[in-house]
Homo-oligomer: A and B are copies of this chain.
Amino acid sequence: MTSARKMGLAVAQMGPVNSTDSRAGTLKRLLDMLREAKGRGAELAVFPELAFTTFFPRYWMDQSEAVARYFEAAMPNPDVQPLFDEARKLGIGFHIGYAEATPDGHFFNTAILVDKHAHIVGKYRKVHLPGHADHRPSYPFQHLEKKYFEVGDLGFKTWDFLNTRVGMCICNDRRWPETYRVMGLQGAELVMLGYNTPSRNNSYHEAPHLPDFHHLLSIQAGAYQNAMWVAAAGKVGYEDGIHMIGGSAIVAPDGEIVAKAAGDTDDEVIFFNVDFARCDGPREYMFNFAKHRRTEHYGLIVEQTGMAERIA
């Protein structure tokens, strides 16, 4: 399967993880998908954001309650150790998202990259936290990432992994082109991302087909504009009664979707035999950054955070 420029890549879309589901039951589902990924030739399996639990930022609670129920104080820990053990046994790497509580009292929406020896070789903490920090009882559900998490303090790093360079981002990060660009500039040829995206916006009306469209538009544009592969793993179906878009996908450096989950309910593994040589042509010509980018005209991107006010 593997050559110097290829990678067997699996994306594991998860059905709902309900509040009433047991940790052990969820872990068994992850193990089953890890085995399926390995069986199909994968060297790396990409799991969703906050994969061990329900998407708890939809609930208003005290931070202490959230930490007790949903955060991981260490990684690995006894609850999740079997996933690491199975990865080492199978000889497969994985990427997974979880809520991280640090020893010194910080809280992040985090993803890790784990190699086939079950060593954590990379960590990412979500930078673009969506939603709000205040309780909004009039909303059909909350989106409290700005309450439970701090903005990631690690930036968009990249790592040498399986003969390529890879990076990570999480959910809302994928809508911001800066995310891919910062990793693309580092030479990343693969970006992994996990997500939990409700099918319905909680704050204003938009047409029901748009959340799926926006997800795919964002990852396809990010892949194309940086000539990189993108592997996106989400949850799908009614989680605690709130429907999540699926659309987990592998996107090629030309922006085309080459594998996409079909289901709307169950756990599902998709696979593609990724060839990093497909990054080369566009990186030499259309997206030869050194030849074409003009940083002297990009200053506002870092000098100004918010948008100028609309004129009256």
Q: Which residues of A contact B (CB under 8 A)?
A: 127-130, 151-152, 155-156, 160, 163-165, 172, 175-178, 181-182, 184-187, 189, 201, 203-207, 210, 213-214, 217-218, 220-221, 224-225, 254-256, 279, 281, 283-295, 297-311
Residues of B within 8 A of A129 (CB): 292
Assuming A204-B285, A294-B127, A306-B290, is B301 touching A255 (CB within 8 A)?
no
Check A307–B283 contact: CB distance below 8 A.
yes
Chain B residues whose CB sits within 8 angstroms of the CB of A127 once the complex forms: 294, 297
Q: A187-B310, A301-B298 are known contacts. Are A292 and B217 too (CB-CB below 8 A)?
A: no
CB distance from A236 to the nearest CB of B (A): 21
Select A293's contact among B256, B298, B305, beta carbons within 8 Å.
Answer: B305
Q: A27 CA to B286 CA in the complex, in Å?
A: 32
Known contacts: A177-B177, A210-B254. The answer to whether A182 contacts B294 by CB under 8 A is no
Distance in Å from the Cβ of A304 to the closest Cβ of chain B?
Answer: 5
CB distance from A58 to the nearest CB of B (A): 16
Task: Name 17 A/B residue pairs within 8 A (Cβ), A-sorted.
Answer: A127-B294, A163-B311, A164-B310, A172-B292, A175-B287, A176-B292, A176-B293, A182-B300, A203-B285, A204-B284, A205-B281, A207-B254, A210-B254, A210-B256, A293-B305, A295-B302, A295-B305
Contact of A292 among B128, B164, B289 (CB under 8 A): B128
